[in-house]
Structure 1
Amino acid sequence: MSRHQLGMLIGMSVVAGLLFGFVELAGEVMEGETSAFDKSLLLALRDPLNPDQPGGPWWLARMARDITSLGSTTILTMVTVATLGFLLLLHKRAAALLVLVSIGGGGTLSTLLKMLFDRARPDLVPHGDQVISASFPSGHAMQSAVVYLTLGALLAQFVEGRRTKAYLLTWAMLLTLVIGASRVYLGVHWPTDVLAGWSVGAAWAAFCWMVAEWLQRRGAVEQDRPEATAGR
């Protein structure tokens, strides 16, 4: 088995595992099996003397609101547009189209899943951010996973060295994790909403990565690796 085939096999296993986890979690949520877990964890993040207030120092809530904005539609759109412009400047039109389809598809999937499950937002505590859509899965958690993991994997192909690649991917994962966690801290999502968003978002990002690898090997998408551009 070649290195590429092994990578694809691992990628398929990761996607399947994440989707299985999402389906199992969604089933338990719809049956109400996660209610006690959701409520206990949500309340654990509040001030024990005043559950209407988030726990911790005053600046932590402000920081959470700043972090949560990194997963908003506005910020994710700006990041995506900037990336598309960067790829177009490098004359990588097929890669730009792939990024657009990947991120646009992830956003559409998030909307459809919210409509399908139509779970109510938490009502135990005041919301620390404005919300207008259903709760499951978390759109911030899912779309930040789609955008940051996809772009992290893309940027990793422009640099050499395992440490540098790992640095980019680590930051992509860290952003995804803290954005999702901020939604629970602000009381606008149940913990299982965020877990579901992470699962399906990461699965979508991994699937798109596999498609990109396959298309690159067929020559349908420009090679982004440094060695492909070294001779230019």
Structure 2
Amino acid sequence: MRDRFLTLARRARDAVGGIDLVVMLSILAVVGGAWGFLEIADEVSEGDTVKLDERILMALRSPDDPSDPIGGPVVEELVRDLTAMGGVAIIGLVTASTVGFLLMDRKYHAAALVLAATVGGQLVSSTLKGLYDRPRPSVVPHLMHASQASFPSGHSLLAAVTYLTLGALLARLVERPALKLYIVAVAASITALVGLSRIYLGVHYPTDVLAGWCAGMAWAILCWEAARWLQRRGMVEASIEA
């Protein structure tokens, strides 16, 4: 038994040794994101998350008036501004600005990949919404207009795709690890705030947001790893190498 274990361990070591560390971590992240999404989707489909979802939404409202969010008008206005960062208008503007910069820098293939990642993310979001067709929360009044199905959160998914991709691009422009970490942390923070804003405004259940983060992260990393693979083969400019 011990010899068999050692043999398997050596084989695993040799197999992993032939894989780039970044590639291995990317695969784990994509698989983890996809697994997380499917687990949440399964729980949602079976109705196991309803009580927890509704309890969290109610905790963010006044006990006497569900239409009154905690924090008052000032916080509500700030949250509305934050949620716009995951909307089509802002995401489109950020994507167009990034693509424009890459085109001006003659990184045509890189620009195409950034555009494909964002547009693809929108298609993934629309497809998943149509597949699960979960109604919007009704336990609290919505604090802003919301259309389409609730699961997963499109704002959360697109924020993850756009800001994590942009963060990876910017992180390549600096050398200090601390600066790289700072850029990625800012991108992740924006993604988190967008998702949390959707819960606060009552237009999404918490599980919608979690699923959106999982799917968006998986899609963003999948696109990024595809870009690295193409770059190593000279098909994409080095400016987007991770």
1: distance between equivalents of 2:37 and 2:229? 25
Count of residues in correspondence between the two structures: 226
2: distance between equivalents of 1:138 and 1:225? 28
> Which of residues 106, 114, 122 in structure 2 aligns to 1:107?
122
> Which of residues 30, 42, 50 in structure 2 aligns to 1:35?
50
Q: Which residue of 1 aligns with 2:29?
A: 14
Letter in 1 for 2:49: T
Q: Which residue of 2 aligns with 1:171?
A: 186
Correspondences of 1:128-143 after superposition (within 5 Å): 128-143=143-158
1: distance between equivalents of 2:216 and 2:150? 15
Correspondences of 1:17-96 after superposition (within 5 Å): 17-96=32-111
Q: CA RMSD in A?
A: 1.5
Cα displacement string for residues 144-185 of structure 1 (whole angstroms, at most 9, x for unaligned residues):
101111111112112221111111111110000000000000
More deviation, 153-162/183-192: 153-162
User: In 2 relative to 1, CA 154–2 (structure 1 residues): closer, same or farther, beyond 3 Å?
Assistant: farther
User: In 2 relative to 1, CA 59–3 (structure 1 residues): closer, same or farther, beyond 3 Å?
Assistant: farther
Cα displacement string for residues 73-110 of structure 1 (whole angstroms, at most 9, x for unaligned residues):
01100100000000011110010011111111111010
2: distance between equivalents of 1:42 and 1:22? 21
Letter in 2 for 1:102: A
Letter in 1 for 2:129: K
1:220 correspondence with 2:230: no
Letter in 1 for 2:144: D
1:121 correspondence with 2:121: no
Cα displacement string for residues 43-82 of structure 1 (whole angstroms, at most 9, x for unaligned residues):
0111123221111233111111010011110110010000
Q: Which residue of 2 aligns with 1:230?
A: none
1: distance between equivalents of 2:200 and 2:20? 41
Q: Which stretches of structure 1, 4 residues or more, deviate above 4 A after TM superposition?
A: 1-4
Question: Which protein has the larger Cα radius of gyration, Structure 1 or Structure 2?
Answer: 2
Unaligned runs of 5+ in 1: 227-232
Letter in 1 for 2:97: A
> Which of residues 173, 198, 208 in structure 2 aligns to 1:193?
208
2: distance between equivalents of 1:80 and 1:192? 27
SS of alignment partner, residue 66 of structure 2: strand
Aligned identity (percent) is 47
TM-score, normalization by structure 2: 0.90
2: distance between equivalents of 1:83 and 1:7? 24
1: distance between equivalents of 2:139 and 2:114? 38
Q: Which residue of 2 aligns with 1:181?
A: 196
2: distance between equivalents of 1:66 and 1:24? 31
Letter in 2 for 1:60: V
- TM-superposed deviation, 1:3: 9.6
2: distance between equivalents of 1:218 and 1:91? 18
TM-score, normalization by structure 1: 0.94
SS of alignment partner, residue 54 of structure 1: coil
